Amino acid sequence: MLRKNPTLRHILGRAAWYFVTFLVAVTVNFFLPRLGDANPIDAILAKTNAGDSAGAREKEEAYLRQFGLAEVDAQGKVIRTADGKPVRTGLGKQFVSYLGLTLQGDLGTSFLQFPKPVSEIIKDALPWTLCLQLPTIIFGWLVGNLLGALAAYKRGVFDRIIYPLALLVSAVPAFCVGILMVYYFGIKLEWFPAVGGYDAGTTPALSSDFLSSAAYYYVMPFLSIFMIVVGGQSIGMRSMVIYELGTDYVKYAKLLGIKENKILLYTFRNAMLPQLTGLALALGAMVGGALITEIIFSYPGLGMAILTAIQGNDYPVITGCTLLITVCVLVANFSVDILVGLLDPRIRAAQAAESN
């Protein structure tokens, strides 16, 4: 059956590779933040101001048992070394426990925001990241590709204006754009708030006051990413259209007397394939957040949540967020592989040749 259906064989083969990649990524995501010697329980105890009292020791043991970070004896007490330090649970045992809980949909509890679940932290931060990233990526992709196609087709003055501007914007690092906007528009001119996601006196809700406040704070983070996306997409689309316009099939079509509009339709369709791949990958990676932008503007998205977790050795939040990002990126890449295979006749022909 698979030999007679090369497309299905290609899909299953790619799915197997992505599954192996997922297992490797999950393993790395779990072990990497836990390689240090820092004890995250200290951060929880510091928040409770328990000091060195006997109550602090009981709380420490309770947290260590709850998070599975220390070995316990038959009576349920934490096993300690001769100098009084708890014996840490092996990473292998923690990993097995983590996989079991993750398969049940339990991402654990945050250390820094104990007893808040990791899933709730992600639920609070993810909408901010999606609202910032999704419109930026889609509108930037559309505007950038339109400008790039026009620059390649029209050439002349139009190309001499758009191309240098696109190069300039795409070459500027994202953090430079954000810092300049904060300084000039937020501090010097005071047109927009420099940092934050909404006014401190408002409560997140579907109310006119909150939405207007969030939209006001949204302008600068949006523009700082939008300009870079437009610049990069314009350069890519311009290069692809110029390449397609110089191919043999375009020259042959012109010799046959085919209408220019029809030739341009095929040209733009072929030029769009790499751009569609880039769009799908960007949409898959967007849940990771525009980390630098969110840091500069103190925007309450998933990127800030990851940064805070890394600074505080909050293993469950780090692992939960990276797991979400890993899944989305792999799904996006897998979807692109399948989509390009279905849309590009050259790939279909190669699959058919392999099956023969």
Find tokens 């990413």 and name the residue: 225
Retrieve residue 157's tokens.
Answer: 């003055």
Helix then strand then coil, % of the chain, to nearest 5: 75, 0, 25
**What is the reported pLDDT for 95?**
79
Note the pTM of the prediction, 2 decimals: 0.73
**What is the reported pLDDT for 76?**
63
Domain ranges for the chain: 13-103, 118-354
**Distant-in-sequence, close-in-space partners of 348: CB < 8 Å, separation ≥ 6:** 7, 341, 342
Amino acid at 222: F
Contact indicator for 200, 193 with CB cutoff of 8 Å: no
**What is the reported pLDDT for 207?**
76
Question: In this structure, what are the phi and psi dihedrals at residue 78, rounded to the nearest 5 degrees?
Answer: -70, 130
- Per-residue pLDDT of the chain (356 residues), as tens digits, is 545 666 677 677 778 888 888 888 888 877 777 776 666 666 666 666 555 555 666 666 667 666 666 666 666 676 766 666 666 666 777 777 777 777 777 777 787 777 788 888 888 888 888 888 888 888 888 888 888 887 887 777 777 777 788 777 777 777 787 888 888 888 888 788 887 787 777 777 777 777 888 888 888 888 888 888 888 888 888 888 888 777 787 788 888 888 877 877 778 877 777 777 777 767 766 665 567 788 888 888 888 888 888 877 787 888 888 888 888 878 877 877 777 666 655 555 555 555 55
Contact indicator for 280, 334 with CB cutoff of 8 Å: no
Q: What is the DSSP letter of 121?
A: H
Q: Which CATH superfamily is domain 118-354 in?
A: MetI-like (1.10.3720.10)
**What is the reported pLDDT for 208?**
78
Q: Which long-range contacts (CB under 8 A, 24 or more apart) does 150-159 make?
A: 151/234, 151/238, 152/237, 152/238, 152/239, 152/241, 152/242, 152/245, 153/241, 153/245, 153/264, 159/238
**What is the reported pLDDT for 52?**
55
Does a cis peptide bond (omega within 30 degrees of 0) precede residue 115? Answer: yes
